[in-house]
Chains A and B, each alone.
Chain A
Amino acid sequence: MTVAFLQLTLGLYFIGILLSLVYLLRRSEFLAKVALAVTCIGFAIHTVVLAVQVFSGEEVQWVTFHKALSFFSWSLVFVFLLVVLFQRLYVLGAFMLPIAFLSLVSTAILPSETPVLHPMFQAMWVHVTLSMLGTVGFAVAFVAGVVYLMQDRLLKSKQFNVLSFKLPPLDVLDMLNQRSILLGFPFLTMGILTGAMSAQITMGSYVSWNSEQIWALVTWAFYFVVLMGRVTVGWRAKKAAYLTIVGFAGVLLTFLGVVLKGNGSPIS
């Protein structure tokens, strides 16, 4: 049942993405509304699916990588809806929704074995949720960075086309970039701390130096430097945009580490 609903969600997100992309290149505000409506319906169904998965008994199931990705996708769409609600930035749909879509698709593509978890790891869900929320913040910052560079390039090359008309002003993008890192960073910090704690409980040591943990720490340090750089030496605007794009690559590598490590074997 949930599979069918997830497919429906995917279909709706896909239509939302197509409409957002067309909206990006046409001077019609109407398309944005349609895209938003479709996305909202998809989001509602997605919410139901997630709720059913989480609250239907086996809580341990929550911690699977699939569900974490599904939660990530859901949160990203949620943030997109907030951004539209407060900033009217419909345009970002064309960039944020594809990431949400891809992460949801990957839950269908990745091998579906559920890593067997020791009952003691039930606190893992806190770690996963916090890490995912941090990742959502960095994903939004990544999108803001990409769009910033696009707009920057359009302005520099003096191309006054539909795209430059549609993309938000530079300061809005820079602010979005800053705020999403500021929100994402504490979540990642807490995610890493809870991860270390559960590792301590299960394996007796906080750090085991596997690829996931290394990349997580590198990512954390990177974003810490980015944040500090903004405050102390003015790493903002174009530089901040580049840095967040690089940072998100680090996040993806961490994910890859989880997949390689978690694929088929117990999470440890």
Chain B
Amino acid sequence: MNIILVGLSHKTAPVELRELLVVPNSRMGEALNRLMAHAGIREGMLLQTCNRVEVYAVVDQVEQGFSAIQEFFVDTHFSVSAEQLLPRLYCHAEDRAITHLFRVASSLDSLVVGEPQILRQVKDSFQDALTHNATGVILNKFVKKAISVAKRVRTETRIAENAVSVSYAAVELAKKVFSNLAARTVMLVGAGEMAKLAAQHLVNHGVHEVLLTTRDPMRAADMAARFNGLSIPFEEFRANMHRADIVLCSTGASHYLISPEDVERAVRARWNRPIFLIDVSVPRNIDPDVRQVDNAFLFDIDDLESHIEQNREERMLEATRAECIVKDEVEVILKWLQSLKATPTIVALRKRADALKQAELQKAFGRLGTLTPQQQEAVEGLASGIVNKLLHGPLVALKSAAQSSNGLVYIEAARRFYDLGQSLPGQESVNVQDVQDLEAEDVATDALSPAPAEGTEQERMPRQASGL
């Protein structure tokens, strides 16, 4: 049982290649079935976003799994040749694969570190895999852990706190002047993309009224519909500027459209209430001398860029803290995976003990002749009691030792002591039911047993073992 990952991302492949590999939602089921049909793949999940296409899988043999998934990728799109694709794919196994998904979900591997969409995408991919029955015990636990790690990173670090896009930076700066955008009016001069995006952000933050002006009446009507705004003839926008708290300027004009005098007039008409101007056009449309006007705050594209540059640096600092969280959590999941290795041995040991008990009981009943039901029960109870008490120590030791580094030694020893046959590494199959039973049992014993006695015993065992 190994967790592996094969995929490509914005770091290894251009968008032209990535977009070819994306499986449309309607064909997700078919794709997952095709993936699972490869020999040796026990569980699988396909994660695809605009920046990455990755397959996570639980496989018997790492190398075999790598080639199976590579094959799967090559088959996904006929126009992509293996020579084109294979050098772009990265293959990770075990802790590196786990770390990778944790980092991806926490948005540490994103183009824009800290962007919030990725977690949603991981959840969706997981949901897809769940609906198509492609996941099992290990992937379920692993991906859910990744989601919880991402949430932990989000709450414990400030990785997603500040704006890192130009359009959002405009909103952040506007909030330094106006605490509450809800009662504010924004004026959009021109129909540039960036200004529209910023206007959209402002509207999302509850801006009360949108005034629009552009030279092209068709576009004006278009935008008025989009923002539910009021269109103003281009010739009159300067005279109406005092109505706006925030002016967003983005036109194709090659000269200054707004002069310091215009702004001064607007500020006077506003009775000195501050006015916030953003110029995202290149070449600039607002005269930089507007800066000298009292109560007018002008920011151009470079100012916004430098603002987000600082935010980005801060995110990088936070990212290093996030990496520590990821590292801790990888340890946790590795331990859990390690403990799974003991599961088949524990189950086999139980079965063997049960079989021995039944055989001996049959023999005894044959010799004893007819017994009353009470007597029969007593004999059965005796046998079960001895077996359970004898097994308790080894089972507890196996479970706890499996999480330590010398877990395999214990498993091997148990197999030899109890003659359970050889286990081939990587070949043990983990049965969903077994794992669930054992975990439920752990919870039950934890709850029922008098904690100190059990605890000390459990702790002592592995220590003695390492001493040996």
Of the residues B158, B176, B291, B306, contact of A169 by C-beta under 8 Å: B176
Q: Which residue, B178, B179, B180, has most C-beta atoms of chain A within 10 A? A: B179
**Chain A 226-239 per-residue mask, 1 if CB under 8 angstroms from chain B, else 0:** 00000001111111
**Chain A 146-167 per-residue mask, 1 if CB under 8 angstroms from chain B, else 0:** 0000010001101010001000
B306 close to A238 (CB less than 8 A)? no
**Chain B 83-122 per-residue mask, 1 if CB under 8 angstroms from chain A, else 0:** 0000000000000000000000000000000000000000
Complex CA gap A234/B271 in Å reads: 4
Minimum CB–CB distance for A165 against chain B, Å: 9
- Closest B residue to A173 using CB positions: B179
B307 close to A156 (CB less than 8 A)? no
Of the residues A27, A151, A234, A237, contact of B176 by C-beta under 8 Å: A151
A170 close to B272 (CB less than 8 A)? no
B176 close to A170 (CB less than 8 A)? yes
B299 close to A235 (CB less than 8 A)? no
Given known A-B contacts A156-B291, A160-B306, A160-B310, A171 and B271 have beta carbons under 8 A apart: no
When distances are taken between beta carbons in the complex, the residues of chain B under 8 Å from A239 are 272, 294
B179 close to A171 (CB less than 8 A)? yes
When distances are taken between beta carbons in the complex, the residues of chain A under 8 Å from B299 are 158
B176 close to A164 (CB less than 8 A)? yes
**A168 in the interface, Cβ–Cβ < 8 Å?**
yes
B274 close to A156 (CB less than 8 A)? no
A238 close to B294 (CB less than 8 A)? yes
When distances are taken between beta carbons in the complex, the residues of chain A under 8 Å from B175 are 169
Complex CA gap A170/B306 in Å reads: 21
Minimum CB–CB distance for B274 against chain A, Å: 6
A236 close to B273 (CB less than 8 A)? yes
A237 close to B306 (CB less than 8 A)? no
When distances are taken between beta carbons in the complex, the residues of chain A under 8 Å from B274 are 170-171, 237
- Closest A residue to B184 using CB positions: A171
**A102 in the interface, Cβ–Cβ < 8 Å?**
no
Minimum CB–CB distance for B438 against chain A, Å: 42
A169 close to B178 (CB less than 8 A)? yes
Q: Which residue, A156, A164, A168, A235, has most C-beta atoms of chain B within 10 A? A: A156
Minimum CB–CB distance for A241 against chain B, Å: 10
A169 close to B273 (CB less than 8 A)? no
Minimum CB–CB distance for B262 against chain A, Å: 18
When distances are taken between beta carbons in the complex, the residues of chain B under 8 Å from A27 are 158
A237 close to B178 (CB less than 8 A)? no
- Closest A residue to B299 using CB positions: A158
A236 close to B271 (CB less than 8 A)? yes
**A172 in the interface, Cβ–Cβ < 8 Å?**
yes
Minimum CB–CB distance for B273 against chain A, Å: 7
Complex CA gap A236/B310 in Å reads: 32
When distances are taken between beta carbons in the complex, the residues of chain B under 8 Å from A169 are 175-179
- Closest B residue to A158 using CB positions: B303
**B295 in the interface, Cβ–Cβ < 8 Å?**
yes
When distances are taken between beta carbons in the complex, the residues of chain B under 8 Å from A237 are 272-274, 294-295
When distances are taken between beta carbons in the complex, the residues of chain B under 8 Å from A233 are 271
Complex CA gap A158/B307 in Å reads: 8
B303 close to A155 (CB less than 8 A)? no
B307 close to A160 (CB less than 8 A)? yes
B272 close to A236 (CB less than 8 A)? yes
When distances are taken between beta carbons in the complex, the residues of chain A under 8 Å from B291 are 156
When distances are taken between beta carbons in the complex, the residues of chain B under 8 Å from A158 are 299, 303, 306-307
**Chain A 168-205 per-residue mask, 1 if CB under 8 angstroms from chain B, else 0:** 11111000000000000000000000000000000000
**B297 in the interface, Cβ–Cβ < 8 Å?**
yes
Complex CA gap A155/B297 in Å reads: 7
Minimum CB–CB distance for A27 against chain B, Å: 8
Minimum CB–CB distance for A226 against chain B, Å: 13
Q: Which residue, A158, A164, A172, has most C-beta atoms of chain B within 10 A? A: A158
When distances are taken between beta carbons in the complex, the residues of chain A under 8 Å from B306 are 158, 160
Residues A124-151 near B (CB distance < 8 A): 151
Complex CA gap A160/B309 in Å reads: 10
- Closest A residue to B309 using CB positions: A160
- Closest B residue to A164 using CB positions: B176
Of the residues A170, A235, A236, A238, contact of B177 by C-beta under 8 Å: A170
Complex CA gap A168/B179 in Å reads: 8
Of the residues B272, B297, B307, contact of A235 by C-beta under 8 Å: B272
Minimum CB–CB distance for B314 against chain A, Å: 8
When distances are taken between beta carbons in the complex, the residues of chain B under 8 Å from A151 are 176
Given known A-B contacts A156-B291, A158-B303, A238-B294, A171 and B177 have beta carbons under 8 A apart: yes
Report which A residues bind B (CB closer than 8 A): 27, 151, 155-156, 158, 160, 164, 168-172, 233-239
Query: 6 tightest A-B contacts by CB?
Result: A234-B271, A169-B179, A234-B272, A237-B272, A172-B179, A237-B295
15 contacts between A and B (CB under 8 A): A155-B173, A155-B177, A155-B297, A156-B297, A168-B179, A169-B175, A169-B176, A170-B178, A171-B274, A234-B271, A237-B273, A237-B274, A237-B294, A238-B272, A239-B294
